[in-house]
Structure 1
Amino acid sequence: MNITAPQIVLGTMDFGTRVGADQAFAILDSFVAGGGVWLDTANCYSFWADPSGVGGASEDVIGSWLRARPGVRDAVRIATKVRQNPLVAHSWPQSAEGLSARAVHVGVEKSLRRLGVEHVDMLWAHAEDRTVPLEETVGAFGELVARGTAVRIGAANHAAWRVERARSLAREQRVQPWTALQLRHSLVQPRPLTPLAEAGHRMLTADDVDLARSEGLAVWSYSSLMWGSYVRADKPLPQPYDHPGTTRVLTVLDDVATELAATRNQIVLAWLMRQGIDPIVGASRVEQIEEALAARRVRLSDEHLARFARAR
């Protein structure tokens, strides 16, 4: 898996919609002041919460923040995604952009304009598009790296076999391959084979882990803190997580949090980073990102990991 030290990634999905620009600026400032580096967004964020019915608000806010903070671009790395933005307002998934070469290039050009940057540090394929030959998508992403438009490229919500096939095609085309995976993962796990309510979410699997370890791929996790369910009684875990394993894991979580004088969220983030995973953390308040960044100081022992493994 990732050969570099895992980092907390700031998820900016709600910026410009559920989180206003002023509050977003404060969170971004705090993140950078605390040593945070990676910002994760997408060209579709957050069309479902925006009266316009299309995405772009999150990128707009980040772009405004970059313009208001001269020099900060050198301190952060920006990751964005193409694939899911509706081409027709309030029409998703029917009009969601795909992964054709044209869709990829047009999507990235619009993202760069909103962000006000010349390149992004990571470009993700947000979801699969099996209506387009994988060769075409691979070529488009490779061309963007060759141009310097994207420094790195990765696949979000893709099956492991599709990622490996894409990497093989990239070698054949002599272009840069996907070198990172982004999937949903957290300490608690849903019952096996249970459908998720969130359309398009793909869970991290053993196949993904095997691929990442064998090929040296970075792994980013989203929904890392389960939308606050670890710490908020008013946000219970979704029904697929209602099983005895969850109860056991949460008991161990409380014990370890007490032993290490940390919060539940910090233990979860520390656990993910011990797996070599970069957890994405969304925040609507400054204190939330401060809490998350403090998880970097939490040290889980091998015995702690073993207790979690037995509970699951």
Structure 2
Amino acid sequence: MSENLPLIAITMGDGAGVGPEVIVKAMADPVVHERGRYVVIGDLRRLQQAAEIVGSTLSLVPVAEPEDAVADPATISVLDLDLLPDDLAWGELSAVAGDAAYHYIAKAAELAVAGRVQAICTAPLNKAALHLGGHKYPGHTELLADLTKTPEVSMMLSTPRIKVIHVTTHIGLIDAVRKIEPQLVERVIRRGHDALVAAGVPKPRIGVCGINPHAGENGLFGYGEEEEKINPAVEVCRAAGINVDGALPADTLFFLGGRGDYDLVVAMYHDQGHGPVKVLGLEAGVNITVGLPVIRTSVDHGTAFDIAGTGVVDEGSMIEALRLACEMAPSPKDEVSAPAAGALG
């Protein structure tokens, strides 16, 4: 019965980007509606414009409260915040759109913390627009951590072939190397391990990347960062019963992870993790924020201003993000808890 399905809040993201189109196209997939109920937090008129662009025949209806969302595959329920002008240009940087994107996610976080929705699934925002709108956050991950008063979270990227969790994300490479230290690496390993266990992987195999080429090759490259910053954390986690190897050369580790030798790769910095993931599975990639008191998944792509408003964007990542949000979400009658079994498969 539809009332037993989790209610997922979908945030529209930056209205000048592909978010509205991705949402409308994904909501046309009938399989999506077998797993959950949905309410889009955004602007009704912008979604209607997107529906016209992609040729959708779905009905878009405003709802006053998320609980009023219609469980109908032919309908998209919208909690209309009415923040965007009708003539907002597609594919252009906009402070108004950046500010609106902030308010969509703030509303979703409020509803999720209150237990009125069981998970959040986010369409992409634009960091520059977010900043122009007066909200100085590097991205969704840090924004949601602040909104939910969570001191530390991790970004996990999930594709059908590989899963990656990051020790650092939206900071420069020099700053990332400075920030990495054994306690942080240990917390990220444990956070990734616990997420996979909760998702039905009883003893996940975890590989930890080094920082330098060849993981330093016994001091040949770098200044001993692997021995100082990474290996102590691996040893502590291994002593605690976690099946973890490292520090390992990143290029070799991603090959091994891609063929199935590891359930999770721990990347040290943003591009070390994002590059291989986007090569191996961008179309079905999902971004999961691990450590929040609420479930949050996201598409693994940006606002794509170059194609926004054309209707050609691929909705595969959004469909996969919605699937994971539904599988990770608790029952509507339960309190927010850890991901459901099998959710990250």
Task: Determine if the TM-score, normalized by the shorter chain, exceeds 0.5.
Answer: no
- Please indicate the TM-score interval, normalised by the length of the shorter structure: 0.3 to 0.5
Kindly indicate whether structure 1 or structure 2 has the higher relative contact order, using CA contacts under 8 Å at least 6 residues apart: 2
The two structures have a TM-score, normalised by structure 1, of: 0.37
The two structures have a TM-score, normalised by structure 2, of: 0.34
* The structure with more radius of gyration: 2
Higher helix share: 1
